[in-house]
Amino acid sequence: MSQRRENHSKAGGRVLVEKLPEKGQKTRLTRPESHHLISVLRMQAGDEIDALDGKGGSARCRILKQAQSEDGASSDYFLEWVADMSRTQPATARGPQLILGMGILKGEAMEWVIEKSVELGADE
């Protein structure tokens, strides 16, 4: 069963953090992110996941669990830095990237859409 969880975490499990953990430090997850990680993604302490900071940076982290509260109602979850994956968005002077996602059209309509997308400055 741990093999399945490991594959699941490699399949794109991600969590949003306010600040990425530095090497040798840990970052506390917010309650909503902890809930998503444990209850929705079904991850557990010891699993690895990608932490994203919302600014283009990311790091591979291991999930840590602090002891449950005395009433047993809640636990605090932390992320510990495992490996640097720092991704950054390409710097552009004109602003954010424009990526067009659409279905394939029949006939000349698809070429027309591609032509107009390039004219409008679509990146992908």
- The mean of the pLDDT values for the chain is 75
CB within 8 Å of 52: residues ≥ 6 apart: 14, 15, 16, 17, 58
For the entire predicted model, the pTM comes to 0.54
Secondary structure (DSSP) of 34-70:
HHIIIIIS---TT-EEEEE-SSS-EEEEEEEEPPPPT
Q: What is the mean pLDDT of residues 111-116?
A: 88
For residue 104, pLDDT over 50 is answered with yes
Percent of the chain with pLDDT over 90: 0
A 10 A CB-CB count for 4 gives 9
Q: How confident is the model at residue 124 (pLDDT cuts 50, 70, 90)?
A: confident
Q: What is the pLDDT of residue 99?
A: 83
Q: Which two tokens stand for residue 34?
A: 């902890």
pLDDT band at 12 (very low <50, low <70, confident <90, very high): low
| Terminal Cα distance for the chain, rounded | 39
Which secondary-structure segment (H or E) carries 30? none
pLDDT in tens, 13-54: 788 888 888 777 888 888 888 888 888 888 888 888 888 887
